[in-house]
């Protein structure tokens, strides 16, 4: 793979690998809680602590494919740096959701809502990249620099709760 191609995806690959480590951490928490509850291995014993960890892990796992799809689409079709920044923010929010779910379930709500906003941002970046492609294809108008400027300016706004 040449350096230019690698340079256009390296940040997305880093965020993806960090998300894999995070998934392993979540799975390890489920395994640890399972062993702690009954000492045998992975079983669903029905304890409140185990159920919270297991459910939080399942909820994070259900949104993971959507996150990866919009992360890579936004990064490839629009702009890598804002997409990678939004991806890192999503991972932070997902960690907050997971830890919040281990306490009271209401503590996980801010992480959930913030995560939805980040997924929407990545989705809109992807749509903007697709629209720009078709504008170039049909009309010869390239708005790539405008889109990159807008997404770079908007991505720090994701930090506002």
Model confidence pLDDT, tens digit, residues 3-60: 888 888 999 999 999 999 999 999 999 888 887 766 555 555 556 778 888 888 998 8
| Under 8 Å between Cβ of 12 and 87 | yes
Show the DSSP H helices in the chain as ranges.
Answer: 3-7, 10-38, 48-77, 80-102, 109-139, 144-154
Q: Give the mean model confidence (pLDDT) for residues 150-154.
A: 83
Taking the C-alpha atoms of residue 29 and residue 50, their distance in angstroms, rounded to an integer, is: 9
What integer best gives the mean pLDDT of the chain?
86
Token pair of 148 as six digits: 């990159």
> Domain spans of the chain?
3-158
Average pLDDT over residues 150-155: 82
Q: Which tokens in the block code for residue 4?
A: 């230019």
3-158 under CATH 1.20.120.550, yes or no: yes
C-beta of residue 78 within 8 angstroms of C-beta of residue 123? no
Predicted model pTM: 0.84
Compute the distance between CA of residue 144 and CA of residue 149 in angstroms, rounded to an integer. Answer: 9
pLDDT at 47: 63
- Determine the straight-line distance between the first and last CA of the chain, rounded to whole angstroms: 39
How much is the pLDDT for 77? Answer: 92
Q: Which two tokens stand for residue 155?
A: 């991505």
As a whole number, mean pLDDT of residues 126-138 equals: 89
């Amino acid at each position: 793979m040449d350096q230019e191609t690698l340079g256009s995806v390296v940040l997305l690959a880093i965020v993806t690998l960090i998300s894999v480590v995070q998934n392993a951490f979540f799975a390890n928490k489920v395994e640890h809680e399972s062993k702690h509850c009954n000492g045998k291995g992975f079983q669903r014993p029905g304890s409140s602590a185990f159920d919270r960890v297991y459910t939080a892990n399942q909820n994070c796992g259900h949104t993971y494919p959507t996150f990866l799809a919009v992360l890579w689409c936004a990064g490839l079709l629009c702009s890598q740096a804002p997409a990678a920044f939004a991806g890192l923010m999503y991972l932070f929010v997902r960690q907050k959701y997971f830890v919040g779910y281990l306490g009271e379930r209401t503590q996980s709500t801010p992480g959930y809502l913030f995560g939805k906003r980040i997924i929407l941002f990545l989705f809109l970046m992807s749509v903007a990249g697709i629209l720009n492609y078709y504008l170039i294809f049909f009309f010869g108008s390239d708005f790539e620099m405008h889109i990159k400027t807008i997404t770079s300016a908007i991505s720090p706004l994701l930090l506002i709760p």
